[in-house]
C-alpha cells in the first residue's frame, strides 16, 4: 500500500472566493463604482415561489387541459411576440378579469374566478426571513427598491401578507409600469423614477436573462444564486451591510 497522502487541498474546497475564478473576480471588479440604488427582484430572491410544474399540474387537472398547452398559455419569458396570456397579464395589457376570461377561452373546462385566484396565490409560499433581515441591514446604508415581473393577484397578495415592503423605499411592479424585465424600457422607466442614472442602479435577480437585460440597459446587475453568494458579491464590491 502506498504511503502517499493525497493533497487535502484537492479534496476539501477552500473559501468560495478562492475558487470562483479570475473571470468572476474581474466581473465584480469591473462593476465596482457608485451604486445609488439596490433593486431587488422578488420571486426566487425575496419570495419563495412554488415550482412551475406543480402549478401547471394543478391547473391542468382542474381545467382538464394538457400541461403543454397550459405552459404555452402561461409562459413568462417576455422575449417573443405575441405575448402569452400570462405575459399580457404581467404587463398590464390584461386586467384580472381580462386574464381570467382569456384563459378560460383556451381551457378544456373553465375555472371559476375564485379558484384561479386561489391557485395563483398558492404559488407564493412565503418570504425569506433571512433575506428580509439582510435587506434590513442593507437599508441602514443604502437605498432599496424592488422591480418585479408580477401580476395584480400576486402583487395584492404580497402587499397584504409580506413585510419586506417596509424595508423598501420604492416598489415597481411590471403590471403597473407596463414593462417587464428584460425589456430595456422597463429599466429606463425604473431608473428615471428613482432619479438615478442607469449605471447607479444595481439589479439583483435570479434569472440570467434579466441580469443580461439590465446590463444591456446600462445598469449594474448580479445574478442571485443564494444569500451567501450575494453577501460575498456585495463584500467584493464594497457594498456595506453592517449589523
pLDDT at 30: 53
pTM of the model: 0.87
Range list of H helices, 37-95: 52-63, 67-73, 85-90
pLDDT at 240: 87
Residue 211 contacts residue 179 (beta carbons within 8 Å): no
Give the CA distances from residue 134 to residues 6, 20, 46, 52, 139, in Å, rounded to whole numbers and listed in that order: 39, 23, 10, 27, 9
Identify the bridge partners of residue 106 per DSSP, sorted by sequence position.
none
23 three-state secondary structure: helix
pLDDT at 15: 31
Identify the bridge partners of residue 220 per DSSP, sorted by sequence position.
202
Domains and CATH numbers, the chain: 15-48+125-237 (3.40.50.1000), 51-122 (1.10.150)
47 three-state secondary structure: strand
Over residues 55-81, the pLDDT tens digits come to 999 999 999 999 999 999 999 999 999
pLDDT at 33: 63
Q: What are phi and psi of 56, to 5 degrees?
A: -60, -40
pLDDT at 31: 59
Task: Measure the CA–CA gap between 12 and 14, rounded to whole angstroms.
Answer: 6
Chain Cα centroid distance, residue 206: 5
Over residues 144-168, the pLDDT tens digits come to 999 999 999 999 999 999 999 999 9
Sheet holding 201-205, edge to edge: 170-173, 143-148, 37-40, 201-205, 220-223
Give the CA distances from residue 215 to residues 14, 123, 185, in Å, rounded to whole numbers and listed in that order: 31, 29, 13
**Residue 234 grid coordinates:** 456585495
pLDDT at 32: 53
The low-confidence residues of the chain, meaning pLDDT below 50, are: 1-22, 25
Amino acid at each position: 500500500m502506498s504511503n502517499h497522502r493525497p493533497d487535502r487541498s484537492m479534496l476539501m474546497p477552500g473559501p468560495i472566493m478562492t475558487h470562483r475564478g479570475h473571470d468572476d473576480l474581474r466581473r465584480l471588479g469591473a462593476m465596482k463604482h457608485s451604486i445609488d440604488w439596490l433593486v431587488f427582484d422578488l420571486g426566487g430572491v425575496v419570495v419563495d415561489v412554488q415550482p412551475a410544474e406543480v402549478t401547471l399540474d394543478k391547473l391542468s387537472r382542474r381545467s382538464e387541459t394538457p400541461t403543454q398547452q397550459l405552459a404555452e398559455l402561461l409562459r413568462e419569458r417576455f422575449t417573443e411576440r405575441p405575448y402569452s396570456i400570462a405575459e399580457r397579464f404581467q404587463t398590464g395589457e390584461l386586467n384580472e378579469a381580462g386574464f381570467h376570461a382569456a384563459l378560460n377561452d383556451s381551457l378544456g373546462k373553465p375555472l371559476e374566478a375564485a379558484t384561479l385566484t386561489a391557485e395563483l396565490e398558492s404559488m407564493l409560499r412565503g418570504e425569506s426571513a433571512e433575506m428580509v433581515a439582510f435587506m434590513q441591514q442593507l437599508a441602514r446604508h443604502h437605498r432599496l427598491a424592488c422591480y418585479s415581473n408580477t401580476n395584480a393577484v400576486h402583487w395584492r397578495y404580497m402587499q397584504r401578507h409580506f413585510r419586506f415592503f417596509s424595508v423598501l423605499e420604492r416598489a415597481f411592479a411590471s403590471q403597473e409600469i407596463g414593462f417587464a424585465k428584460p425589456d430595456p424600457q422597463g429599466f429606463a422607466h425604473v431608473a428615471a423614477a428613482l432619479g438615478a442614472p442607469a449605471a447607479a442602479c444595481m439589479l439583483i435577480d435570479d434569472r440570467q436573462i434579466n441580469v443580461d437585460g439590465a446590463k444591456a440597459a446600462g445598469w449594474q446587475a448580479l445574478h442571485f444564486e443564494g444569500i451567501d453568494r450575494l453577501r460575498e458579491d456585495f463584500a467584493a464590491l464594497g457594498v456595506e451591510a453592517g449589523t
